[in-house]
C-alpha cells in the first residue's frame, strides 16, 4: 500500500479540467493522424475552476437517463481488487459506481488537473464514504498512473480535449497491468440535446485511427448509450 499512500492526496500540477480543457500542446516533431473530414476541433478550451458551479451540470440528476452510469461501468468488466483510473474525473460523477465495482481491495484514481476539482473530489469521497477513491492532481501532460498497475482507464467526454494524443496514449501503455484496457466514451459527431456542438466532436473512426497509431487495438465497440460511442482498447502486441 506504500505506493498508493504516497499518491493519496495531491500531485504537483495545474491546468484546466480534463473534461473541458487542453492537455499539453503537441510537441514539434509529433505527427497527428490525417483527419479525412478536416472539420474537427481537437481541443476546446474552457475554465472549470468553480467546481461547485459545474457540479450543477456534471451531477444533474437528469444526466443519469442518458449517461446510464451503471450500464457503462458494467462495460469495464471490473472486479474486486482492480485499479481503475477515471481520467478527467471532474466532480466525480462516476466515483461511487466505480468504487463499488472494485471493492473490496480495489482503488479508483480520480484524476484531474484543476486543484479545485481535486479538492471537490476529496470532499465527495468523504461525503459518499468511498475511501478507495483517491483524488489525483495531475500535470497536463502526465496523469501520474503507476507503471504496470492500472487495469482500466475510463475516459468520458475527455478524449476530444486532449492535445498531443499520440504521445500521451503511447506513454499510457506503460501504466497498464496485464489485460488492461482503455475505454473511450465521447459524444457522437452530430447535433444532440446534450454535449458540445458537432465541430468540437471527433468521429469514432478518427479516435480508433489515433489510438492504433499510439499502439492500441480496438477490441470492442459498445452501443449502450444513446448519445455517445463507447470504444474499448487494449495495448497492441509489441
The mean pLDDT value for 107-128 works out to 94
Q: Is the pLDDT of residue 234 over 80?
A: yes
Scan for cell 475511501, then name that residue: 131
The CATH number of the structural domain formed by 2-22+67-235 is: 3.40.50.150
Q: What is the pLDDT of residue 139?
A: 87
If pLDDT is split at 50, 70 and 90, which confidence band does 224 have? very high
Per-residue pLDDT tens over the stretch 52-79: 655 656 778 899 999 999 999 999 999 9
In this structure, are residues 30 and 167 in contact, taking their beta carbons and an 8 Å threshold?
yes
pLDDT on residue 33:
44
Residue 120 CA from chain centroid, whole number: 17
Which sequence spans correspond to the domains of the chain? 2-22+67-235
Amino acid at each position: 500500500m506504500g505506493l498508493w499512500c504516497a499518491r493519496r492526496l495531491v500531485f504537483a500540477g495545474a491546468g484546466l479540467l480534463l473534461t473541458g480543457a487542453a492537455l499539453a500542446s503537441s510537441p514539434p516533431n509529433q505527427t497527428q493522424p490525417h483527419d479525412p473530414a478536416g472539420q474537427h476541433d481537437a481541443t476546446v478550451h474552457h475554465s472549470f475552476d468553480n467546481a461547485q458551479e459545474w457540479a450543477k451540470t456534471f451531477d444533474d440528476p437528469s444526466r443519469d437517463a442518458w449517461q446510464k452510469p451503471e450500464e457503462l461501468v458494467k462495460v469495464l468488466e471490473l472486479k474486486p481488487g482492480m485499479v481503475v483510473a477515471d481520467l478527467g474525473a471532474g466532480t466525480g460523477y462516476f466515483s461511487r459506481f466505480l468504487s463499488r465495482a472494485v471493492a473490496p481491495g480495489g482503488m479508483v484514481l480520480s484524476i484531474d488537473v484543476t486543484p479545485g476539482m481535486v479538492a471537490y473530489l476529496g470532499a465527495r469521497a468523504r461525503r459518499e464514504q468511498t475511501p478507495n477513491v483517491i483524488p489525483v492532481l495531475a500535470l497536463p501532460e502526465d496523469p501520474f498512473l503507476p507503471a504496470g498497475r492500472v487495469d482500466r482507464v475510463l475516459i468520458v467526454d475527455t478524449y476530444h480535449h486532449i492535445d498531443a494524443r499520440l504521445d500521451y496514449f503511447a506513454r499510457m501503455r506503460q501504466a497498464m497491468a496485464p489485460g488492461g484496457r482503455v475505454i473511450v466514451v465521447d459524444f457522437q459527431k452530430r447535433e444532440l440535446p446534450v454535449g458540445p456542438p458537432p465541430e468540437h466532436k471527433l468521429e469514432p473512426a478518427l479516435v480508433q485511427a489515433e489510438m492504433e497509431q499510439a499502439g492500441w487495438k480496438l477490441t470492442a465497440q459498445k452501443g449502450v448509450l444513446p448519445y455517445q460511442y463507447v470504444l474499448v482498447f487494449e495495448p497492441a502486441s509489441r
